[in-house]
A and B are shown apart, each in its own frame.
Chain A
Amino acid sequence: ELKVEQNPLFLSMQEGKNYTIYCNYSTTSDRLYWYRQDPGKSLESLFVLLSNGAVKQEGRLMASLDTKARLSTLHITAAVHDLSATYFCAVKGDQGAQKLVFGQGTRLTINP
């Protein structure tokens, strides 16, 4: 059974600092997603990673995928308060259905 683990689960950081969120998954998958969720809101798609070595960047966020290590990272550069949110990684399950298995989420708080 596919399991997805994120760490850390909680992250409090100062504006201007850099940090990385890690996402490990237990079985082979051909795609990984990163989502952002604000309190009480739905999921906003950030990145779709489809192949080993894939790297995508949008603003201060950069995501990468290592399928051999079954590891994805979400790197935050020079954090700003607006990036405060919960970040989820999700991996496509190995069944026929396009099922996503989510990590527990990383609650990111960026302090001025």
Chain B
Amino acid sequence: ETGVTQSPTHLIKTRGQQVTLRCSSQSGHNTVSWYQQALGQGPQFIFQYYREEENGRGNFPPRFSGLQFPNYSSELNVNALELDDSALYLCASSSFSARWEQFFGPGTRLTVL
């Protein structure tokens, strides 16, 4: 059974640029959630995708957007990057059969200069 994977591991961007982060869910999981974890803070829920549809969103502006593909992998896109977007971005997958427990990937460390 393959766990949750994310790419890239690290990324450096400049303010105003756009970025795409990728996540492959654990085998058999059809739900992907994205979280932003700023340094020294707990993760904050960005949004969740279930069967290719957005299924809940946290307090993040529209420049944070996402997609889920038929194989349940997902992308997080952030436009017009700001310095405060520097964080660890975590993806988690889950499913009904796993009682909705969320299994986290290794994360992508984004630095915005």
Residues of A whose CB lies within 8 Å of any CB of B are 4, 33, 35, 40-43, 45, 48, 88, 90, 92-93, 95-105
Contact = CB atoms under 8 A, between A and B. Distances in A.
A102 B44 contact: yes
Contact size range, B: 20 to 34
A50 to B, nearest CB: 8
Most buried by B among A90, A97, A101, A102: A97
B105 A98 contact: no
A100 B45 contact: yes
Interface in B87-110: 90, 92, 94, 99-107, 109
Contacts of A105: 40-42
Nearest to B103: A45
Interface of B: 31, 33, 35, 40-45, 48, 50, 55-56, 58, 90, 92, 94, 99-107, 109
Contacts of A95: 56
Q: Is the interface of B mostly helix, strand, loop or mixed?
A: strand
Contacts of A96: 55-56
Contacts, number: 62
B90 A43 contact: yes
Given A42-B90, A43-B90, A98 B102 contact: yes
Contacts of A4: 42
10 contacts: A35-B104, A41-B107, A42-B104, A96-B55, A97-B55, A98-B33, A98-B48, A98-B100, A98-B102, A100-B35
Given A102-B42, A103-B42, A104-B41, A97 B104 contact: no
